[in-house]
Structure 1
Amino acid sequence: MDLYIYYRADCRHAQALAENVRVMQSALTQRCGVAAALKRRPETKDGRHTWMETYLNIPGNFDAILAQAVQQSEVASLIEGERHTEYFLDVTSCA
């Protein structure tokens, strides 16, 4: 299963947010073996960017590990509103 998390942050926090998320994702990759990425929409709206964290092939206990990582980082203090999460499964076809 893959996890996608999106949220908004003030453009003034872009550099700090990117650095904090990358450090957090690096630690999560080492700990859990997940492939992680950080993306941002190219446009701004009301002085804010929309960001997306992706985590591919997450283990079953990843939600708790991620919640702890977010709490220990400064990520939550740099965003506005909630971190919205969505899960997706790979679709396999029958042969």
Structure 2
Amino acid sequence: MTDLYVYYKLRSGDAAALAPRVRAMQAQLGAACQLKQRPEARDGLLTWMEVYPSVPGGFDARLEQAALNAGLAAFIQGPRRLEIFTDLTPCA
């Protein structure tokens, strides 16, 4: 299976405006997901992570388009970084 992890930075003051946009985007995608943040801000910036476990092939393109449609870039400082992980063969 493939899991996607997307992380980015935002100003602490933008969290209240960005959270509903991310949640609405995630609901529209219809995938199991999580929204997490690092426990502390650094230099006034929070780090958030969206987690999408067990997604089908091509989901990353859908996610990128959904983020554009939701206008997330207006609140994000720097890039929105995508990491893709796949399961290893289980131990015997």
Q: 1:17 to 1:93 in 2, by over 3 A?
A: same
Aligned-pair CA distance for 1:67: 1.4
Letter in 2 for 1:27: Q
Q: Higher strand share goes to which structure?
A: 2
TM-score, structure 2 length as denominator?
0.92
* 1:64 corresponds to which of 28, 52, 61: 61
In structure 2, the residue matched to 1:79 is: 76
Q: Percent identity?
A: 49
Residue 21 of structure 1 corresponds to: 22
Residue 14 of structure 1 aligns to a residue whose secondary structure is helix
Corresponding residue to 2:40 among 43, 52, 71: 43
- The match for 2:49 among 49, 52, 57 is 52
Describe the SS at the equivalent of 1:42: coil
Q: Deviations for 1:29-71, whole angstroms, at most 9, x for unmatched residues? A: 2xxxx21110011101010100000111111111221111011
Tell me how far apart the structure 1 counterparts of residues 38 and 29 of structure 2 sit (CA, whole Å): 23
Count of equivalent residues: 91
| Residue identity in the other structure for 1:26 | A
Q: Which runs of 5+ in 2 are unaligned?
A: none
Q: Which consecutive aligned stretches of 4+ in structure 1 deviate over 3 angstroms post-superposition?
A: none
